[in-house]
A and B are shown apart, each in its own frame.
Chain A
Amino acid sequence: MHEPHSEQRPYLGYGLGLRPNHYLDILAQRPAVDWFEALTENYLVPGGKPLYFLERVREHYPVVLHGVSLSIGASEPLNLDYLHKVKSLANRIDAAWISDHLCWTGAHGINLHDLMPLPYTEEAIQHVAMRVMQAQDILGRQLLLENVSSYVTYRASQLSEWEFLSAVAEAADCLILLDINNIHVSAFNHGFDPQEYLNGIDPSRVRQFHLAGHQNHGDYIIDTHDEPVIDAVWELYAAALRRCGPVSTMIERDDNIPPLSDLVAELDQARRIGTRILAREDAA
């Protein structure tokens, strides 16, 4: 159902998260990685090593910015100072795009530094969509919003998560960063069918995929990004590719970070799956 190689959707290929302990290896080895995703807040600093290495990496690879502090679903006004700094950083490195999460991160001036889930309600859709539009006006570009892993279901919720995400993207005319691992984690934690989630997302709004590992505690899964991607997530990734077509894909690793070569090898698995699925779709 997708339109392969659509000119509407920029496609970067297969990327990795940019992590400080890989800086030197990236510059020395120039690994076969198509692009890097930099964590926005790590580079909202005045200067020094973080910005130095970000710019060196950018000389050789496309870079996208991925934030955790926009707090697009919070009740307090958007932090305009933060948004202007993000815009300035994006301009400085000519970021291919900017993403953050469909969540809130704090109230009363406090930042919990966590991706807190929103209630899936019509009112929340309107509230978040207004703020996305305001953020996009400031940034001067469309924002990508990522689905987060969640561990609770609010009694107030009236919609499924995918209905909520789709409605926000439609109302605000923003794009989606679809985290395949987060769909798996939340499907397990809340008992929904991940394929139903995928089927509920408009492929034309999906600009990027995330892949990651997690910790399974039996009754629930926690999204930890400290392990390799598991088979069930690879399978869901294949299903997402079948639905959406070529979408820029990257692996997130934030803890228990292995050598760069291990992540490049893991990324090759994504590449193999992508090549296989997309060739089949093209042939069809």
Chain B
Amino acid sequence: MTPDGLRDLQACFQAHVLHGDDGMLAQVDAGARPSASARLAIYANAYRLRLLEALTTDFPALHTLVGDDVFDQIGRAYIDAYPSTHYSIRYFARNLSTFLAETAPFNATSVLAEMAALEWALTLAFDAADDPVLNEAVLAALPAEAWSGMRLRLHASVQRHDFGWNVAELWSAIDQQQPPEPPAAYPEQRAWLIWRRALQTYFRPVDATEAWALDYLHTGADFAALCDGLCAHVEPSQVGLLAASYLKGWIQAGLIAEIFC
């Protein structure tokens, strides 16, 4: 067998596992029980079961929300649509929310895609980089003239999502093993913040102005630009107080990793 032969053999086996192509039957011994097709089926079945298990681990609330049968349908369709391309199975589910948003019948509403987005954000926060957490004393020690030019770096775990459905409330109810209410659409989209402090992941709603401020900070804007931008959201006379209050809250929540001046 040449290296090309090895390449062909592996491609053939993979096509059997992924799509059930039967070319592999000719490549394996067919003599002993179980049959060659039964032996090959062990690989094809194990492939799907392993990936389904990964999805079950990462999306417990989505699983509860849709039930076993629909979750299995979602999982098998996702496995076919987005085979894993990462060396770690931990990242297999990274496209599930996108898949649910683009695939009928799961996209009849956005609730399933949003629940998947929330649960995936929680997994990303769970093992995001161990950034430092800024201490309030560092800010207090900053000379007043440095404030306008300072830039804030958010903790690596911080993520912002906008949801049109009450997926965060549903997640909490499911997590506490309470019977979840039926999914409900918000009157308008709500902003949510997901992050980790020490080893604990958190999420909370944020109002539209704070969400804008966090998103703007994330672009690398300095504090003066943030204050200027806030003028479009609140009375200019309130901007200083509001910005200071946001900053204090963010630092206390562990959202800020570093300040650069």
Contacts and interface: CB of A to CB of B under 8 A. Distances in A.
A12 B1 CA distance: 39
Contacts of A121: 1
Contact of B90 (A41, A79, A156, A190): A41
A156 B9 contact: yes
Contact of A155 (B29, B88, B92, B157): B29
Nearest to B131: A47
B83 A110 contact: yes
Interface stretch (B42-50, B59-67, B141-149, B227-235): B42-50
Contact of B84 (A48, A107, A111, A190): A111
B88 A153 contact: no
B127 interface: yes
A123 B196 contact: no
A110 B130 CA distance: 30
A47 B124 CA distance: 10
Interface in A45-77: 45-52, 69, 73-75
B192 to A, nearest CB: 20
A124 B84 contact: no
Interface stretch (B30-38, B112-120, B168-176, B244-252): B30-38
B87 A110 contact: no
A239 to B, nearest CB: 24
Interface string A134-178: 000000000000000001111110000000000000000000000
A121 B5 CA distance: 11
A51 B87 CA distance: 18
B189 interface: no
Contacts of A271: none
Interface in A12-56: 41-42, 44-52
B39 interface: yes
Nearest to B200: A49
Contacts of B47: 112-114
Listed residue (A48, A104, A153, A191) with the most chain B CB atoms within 10 angstroms of its CB = A48
Contact of A114 (B2, B38, B46, B126): B46
Main secondary structure of the interface of A (DSSP, over half): loop
Given A47-B129, A49-B127, A111 B85 contact: yes
Contacts of A41: 87-90
Interface in B46-96: 46-47, 50-51, 54, 83-90, 92
A75 B28 CA distance: 19
Contacts of B199: 48-49, 52
Interface string B15-29: 001100000001111
Nearest to A49: B199
Nearest to B10: A107
A118 B34 CA distance: 20
B13 interface: yes
Contacts of A222: 42, 46
Nearest to B198: A52
A45 B127 contact: yes
Contacts of B18: 110
Interface in A108-132: 108-114, 116, 118-119, 121, 123-124, 127
A151 B40 CA distance: 7
A106 to B, nearest CB: 7
A127 B10 CA distance: 14
B90 A42 contact: yes
A220 B43 CA distance: 13
Contacts of B157: 48
B129 A152 contact: no
Interface of A: 41-42, 44-52, 69, 73-75, 79, 82, 104, 106-114, 116, 118-119, 121, 123-124, 127, 151-156, 189-191, 219-220, 222
19 contacts: A41-B88, A45-B127, A46-B130, A48-B125, A48-B157, A48-B199, A52-B199, A73-B6, A82-B87, A108-B11, A110-B84, A111-B85, A111-B87, A112-B14, A113-B54, A113-B89, A123-B3, A123-B5, A222-B42
